[in-house]
């Protein structure tokens, strides 16, 4: 067999990294990831790199030859549904290897890509002992998994029921197993975790089960806990310091225990704020960026401390720009957290949706770009397309808010005030009183849910964004319990298409100007992330199972293939033996697909917190299940 070529095309910067790694005792696990991410033949981390750009510098597949892209191989994941992640492709022991993990029950596979058109499974692993089946009904929403990491000779992944596991990448044997999340407390782990320095940093989900969010860092060698920082509670619990938000004190500062006093009574103990999705890392600043989720249940009057017969909506929110006290912001839910990697201490924290009333979870990916010019000045920037419909641009060194543009239809807020950082909310679209039905755009699934956008670092203002295009009616209900681990929503939610026949769009969006440069509408939701390549293409998939390539310049679909199930995974690209490949998971699921995968009653328009009506309108019941990874390459 012809020996596979897995060429390292290192830049001068990469060579500097290699030299640093050569210093005995000086290398860290993310030095490896940086080195690999500078080799376009690999896919080094869940987002391709630590900044989560989801960009491939490969250009063998381009707008001219993409018509000759055909399936090369496919591999079953061993699970039916819920594949929101992607594999990693790395060089291990001199061989090109692909590692991936399925959705529940979280089966890991190691594929040797030396024969790139016919990969060979080297080992597989499934944890059979000490599993907690109660995680399955407690997973909000669906039994999904967003991928694993490779570093320090280990494959590091998580299970839905809260185990964090490191496997020997050569043999698949356990190196360490740590219990991280506890389903009986409402905690389930859909991930992924992040490797930064010599730490594995993880969160979990569970806001709809009264969990209390936290981030935990573990030693990559041993799996031992290094630090823990919560999303709610005292300044000490949250890991605030006197220097937190020093350049933006209006975001909230140390010394006030805002994570407690902005909730009534002891509501912060079950206050949500779980960081359940994507993390990014700046190795120069040594800061980890993560978003936190909603503040627990969806009946917001219980999270406001104004009491008595004269309780008014205005006392619990800031509809008039002059009334902006933020007494009941429910800190630090819905917040971008910038934490020091070695201690977890908060450098800065910006709450996007204070006193949330819509479940606009703030966990979407924080993409890092350099040299982004805003108002004539270059910034080390962070870009976040939030569920609430605003695209935020921030200086990631100190949290300065530079831009906040609407990227979908938004009516719950007029705008975000760039001076105060607060949204100017619209009372008519804010559900508050129990039993009052309120219409709002976007829906709780957001202008974009967790499905990640992508950017070419050479064009740091241009992003390729999969969007949801739904609105909702939301009616808060009476709260019946405060028990952790039990469904904790207390709202009737009905979701509907903003425009009949259009469920999702792919957009090319300028985050500085706020302009949509082109868009592609789809009758199915776009719950897949995007991949952009130096070949001038953007790859993405629809929940109908259509895997597509789009010309980045024109927005024209130049290639598509129908896969066996709906696509909610994220495309990747790699190169072995002189051939560029693209691949993606299929396997319907996620919140939008849950009514199908859980076989819910489609006549219940409130099922799955509004997703059943959505699935019925989009005809997702006609999409089969089945988890699979499919790889494509160009054939002459």
Give the tens place of pLDDT for each residue, 306-346.
865 556 667 777 665 544 568 899 999 999 999 999 999 99
- Tokens 């920082």 -> residue: 229
Q: Which helix (H) or strand (E) holds 614?
A: helix 611-618
- Spatial separation of the C-alpha atoms in residues 97 and 119, rounded to whole Å: 9
User: Is cis: bond before 332, omega within 30 of 0?
Assistant: yes
Give the tens place of pLDDT for each residue, 504-540.
999 999 999 999 999 999 999 899 999 999 999 999 9
Give DSSP secondary structure letters for 3-48.
Answer: PP-------HHHHHHHHHHHSTTT--HHHHHHHHHTSTT-B-STTS
User: Is cis: bond before 442, omega within 30 of 0?
Assistant: yes
624 closest CA partner among 554, 551, 545: 545
To the query of whether residue 91 is one of the catalytic residues in this protein, the response is: no
**Helices 590-597 and 611-618, packing angle to 10 deg:** 80
* Residue 7 domain flag: no
* Residue 4 domain flag: no
* pLDDT recorded at residue 2: 44
**What's the rounded mean pLDDT across residues 32-43?**
95
Q: Which domain holds residue 243?
A: 12-307+316-634
Q: What is the CATH number of the domain that holds 607?
A: 2.140.10.10
- Spatial separation of the C-alpha atoms in residues 163 and 205, rounded to whole Å: 13
**What's the rounded mean pLDDT across residues 32-37?**
94
**What's the rounded mean pLDDT across residues 429-439?**
92
SS3 317: coil
* Residue 1 domain flag: no
Would you say 341 and 197 are in contact if contact means Cβ atoms under 8 Å apart? yes
Would you say 144 and 66 are in contact if contact means Cβ atoms under 8 Å apart? no
For 632, the token pair is 């494509």
Give the tens place of pLDDT for each residue, 608-630.
888 888 888 888 888 899 999 99
Give the tens place of pLDDT for each residue, 169-192.
999 999 999 999 999 999 999 999
* Residue 2 domain flag: no
* pLDDT recorded at residue 600: 85
To the query of whether residue 294 is one of the catalytic residues in this protein, the response is: yes
Strand 531-533 versus strand 55-56 pairing type:
parallel
Burial of 595 (0-12, 13-18, 19+ CB in 10 A): buried
* Catalytic option among 41, 152, 197, 359: 359
* Residue 31 domain flag: yes
To the query of whether residue 309 is one of the catalytic residues in this protein, the response is: no
Give the tens place of pLDDT for each residue, 125-179.
999 999 999 999 998 889 999 999 999 999 999 999 999 999 999 999 999 999 9
Whole-number average pLDDT of the chain = 92
* Residue 323 domain flag: yes
- Spatial separation of the C-alpha atoms in residues 562 and 613, rounded to whole Å: 25
497 closest CA partner among 374, 602, 409: 409
* Residue 166 domain flag: yes
167 closest CA partner among 88, 274, 281, 52: 88
* Catalytic option among 198, 245, 248, 294: 294
Q: Angle at the Cα of 304 (from 336 to 228), degrees rounded to 5?
A: 40
pLDDT above 70 (res 31): yes
Give the tens place of pLDDT for each residue, 226-240.
999 999 999 999 999
Total structural domains within the chain: 1
SS3 513: coil
Give the tens place of pLDDT for each residue, 461-485.
999 999 999 999 999 999 999 999 9
* Catalytic option among 208, 282, 318, 546: 208
The strand pairing partners of 215, in sequence order, are: 229
* Residue 5 domain flag: no
Quote the percentage of the chain above a pLDDT of 70. Answer: 94
pTM score > 0.75 for this model?
Answer: yes
Would you say 91 and 153 are in contact if contact means Cβ atoms under 8 Å apart? no
For 487, the token pair is 């469904």
């Amino acid at each position: 067999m012809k020996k596979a070529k897995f060429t390292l095309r290192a830049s001068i910067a990469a060579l500097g990294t290699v030299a640093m790694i050569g210093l005995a005792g000086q290398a860290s696990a993310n030095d490896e990831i940086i080195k690999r991410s500078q080799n376009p033949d690999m896919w080094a981390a869940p987002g391709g790199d630590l900044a989560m750009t989801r960009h491939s510098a490969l250009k063998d597949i381009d707008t001219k030859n993409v018509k000759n892209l055909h399936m090369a191989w496919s591999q079953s994941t061993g699970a039916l549904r819920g594949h929101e992640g992607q594999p990693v492709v790395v060089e291990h022991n001199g061989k090109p290897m692909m590692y991936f993990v399925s959705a529940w029950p979280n089966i890991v596979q190691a594929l040797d890509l030396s024969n790139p058109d016919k990969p060979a499974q080297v080992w597989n692993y499934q944890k059979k002992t000490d599993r907690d089946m109660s995680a399955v009904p407690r997973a909000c929403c669906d039994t999904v998994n967003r991928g694993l990491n490779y570093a320090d000779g280990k494959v590091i992944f998580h299970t839905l029921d809260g185990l964090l596991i490191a496997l020997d990448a050569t043999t698949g044997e356990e190196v360490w197993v740590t219990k991280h999340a506890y389903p009986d407390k409402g905690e389930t782990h859909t991930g992924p975790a992040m490797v930064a320095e010599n730490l594995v940093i993880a969160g979990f989900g569970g806001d709809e089960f009264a969990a209390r969010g936290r981030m935990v860092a573990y030693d990559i060698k041993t799996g031992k806990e290094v630090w823990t920082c919560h999303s709610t509670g005292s300044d000490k619990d949250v890991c605030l310091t006197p220097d937190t938000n020093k350049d933006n004190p209006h975001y909230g500062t140390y010394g006030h225990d805002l994570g407690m006093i902005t909730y009534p009574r002891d509501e912060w103990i079950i206050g949500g704020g779980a960081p359940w999705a994507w993390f990014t890392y700046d190795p120069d600043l040594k800061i980890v960026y993560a978003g936190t989720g909603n503040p627990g249940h969806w009946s917001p009057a219980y999270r406001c401390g104004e009491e008595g017969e004269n309780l008014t909506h205005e006392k619990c929110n800031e509809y008039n720009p002059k009334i902006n006290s933020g007494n009941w912001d429910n800190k630090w839910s819905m917040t971008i957290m910038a934490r020091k990697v070695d201690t977890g201490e908060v450098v800065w924290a910006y709450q996007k949706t204070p006193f949330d009333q819509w479940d606009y979870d703030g966990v979407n990916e924080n993409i890092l770009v350099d040299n982004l010019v805003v108002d004539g000045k270059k910034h080390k920037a962070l870009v976040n397309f939030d569920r609430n419909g605003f695209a935020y641009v921030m200086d990631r060194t100190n949290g300065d808010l530079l831009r906040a543009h609407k990227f979908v239809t938004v009516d719950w807020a007029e705008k975000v005030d760039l001076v105060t950082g607060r949204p100017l909310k619209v009372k008519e679209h804010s559900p508050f009183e129990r039993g009052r039905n309120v219409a709002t755009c976007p829906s709780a699934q957001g202008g974009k849910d967790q499905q990640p956008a992508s950017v070419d670092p050479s064009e740091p203002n241009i992003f390729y964004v999969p969007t949801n295009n739904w609105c909702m009616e939301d009616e808060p209900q009476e709260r019946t319990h405060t028990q952790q681990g039990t469904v904790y929503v207390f709202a009737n939610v009905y979701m509907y298409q903003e425009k009949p026949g259009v469920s999702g769009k792919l957009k090319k969006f300028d985050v500085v100007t706020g302009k949509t440069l082109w868009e592609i509408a789809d009758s199915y939701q776009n719950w897949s992330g995007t991949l952009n390549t130096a070949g001038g293409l953007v790859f993405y998939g629809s929940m109908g199972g259509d895997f597509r390539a789009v010309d980045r310049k024109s927005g024209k679909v130049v290639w598509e293939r129908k896969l066996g199930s709906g696509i909610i995974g994220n495309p990747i690209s790699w190169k072995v033996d002189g051939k560029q490949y693209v691949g993606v998971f299929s396997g319907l699921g996620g919140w939008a697909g849950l009514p199908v995968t859980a076989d819910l009653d489609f006549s219940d328009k409130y099922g799955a917190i509004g997703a059943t009506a959505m699935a019925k309108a989009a005809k997702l019941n006609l999409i089969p299940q089945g988890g699979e990874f499919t790889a494509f390459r160009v054939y002459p």
